[in-house]
Structure 1
């Protein structure tokens, strides 16, 4: 009997080296839960892992698949399987107006420009933001640009959305609105963060430390262990490892 169709994100002995240094070290993961958190302090390899899963880089060793496809080698499949919401919306926005930004991903998927723009207008109407359509992106606030990036991702209907520190730099009301919207999404969400509080509602949390998985399990198990270790490190000279 053949194996069932592959589902989710799989890493098989995935290793990444940057500048001669091992940043991700032989990761073996199978991620299929609906809400997944990847937790770690700065320099732990979180951003590199996000880029690897997204297909923005290839592993130096091992293999990565998303819904059975290699996201680096098969960019067309990656467009349908994955969306990314970066921490800084200005690193993601490419076009001068809202409608153009929303339509771009659909055009990349092969939709004619006119139909892509029509769908963008329909989405904005459903969001109560029809007046945004021809607005210059430069007139939007930081929170509004962040929301625009989320809408652009949702336009493409990916199965999985990667969230890079999704609440960083947002004020509390904007965080609350974004949190409600994300919680209601049907897609699998993979949230990459250094903030344990952002992962309290996750189904599964992976603690990444120095490119390896330090702990993998439910939030109730992983978050207290991570917090205790960060407090222990904070009580010492946390910069000692930088001394030459």
Structure 2
């Protein structure tokens, strides 16, 4: 017989861990660098690349807490900055994106809910990420496709591990591996930045403070609307 004077505590929410791979700015975002050079806006692609990662990591830390974020990177300055904030840092040996994610996954306590998140989501906000993680809690294995539906921005597992298949055609590869596709209406999460067109889309959604500062003075939205890029 239950005690009417006692209340049942709400079920404990799973403590998600997030693995975020970030390339060093000198070697990352090559397509973005080529685009910026081609359109001649005088932008520093390394500064922008660094800012994309900073805004993504900031959103991740505000969502799950810094101690539940694992940064995989070969960028010494980023490693030092985020380690000082409580983020776990795993050195990236430069064997590719999926190898980096796998190293990050290995650093998470076995059995913990874990998600791999791309490091170039400057429009991401904690409410969007929290909504995606809540949806992922309903499935043993899941993923969130990018805006185009072919790539992947987040791959998640509840109480287990997974083999990441990020890269061209990753959405189909993750689905074939048994992960549930989460077609969420979350454009801030699903807009990763690979080139100037996707950067312009992210800017239209609204980006974090680091990316805002990095592109200050560059009229990328004007460039796109003038017919030099895709209509937004």
**TM-score of the pair, normalised by structure 2:** 0.31
More strand by share: 1
Structure with greater contact order relative to length (CA < 8 Å, sep ≥ 6): 1
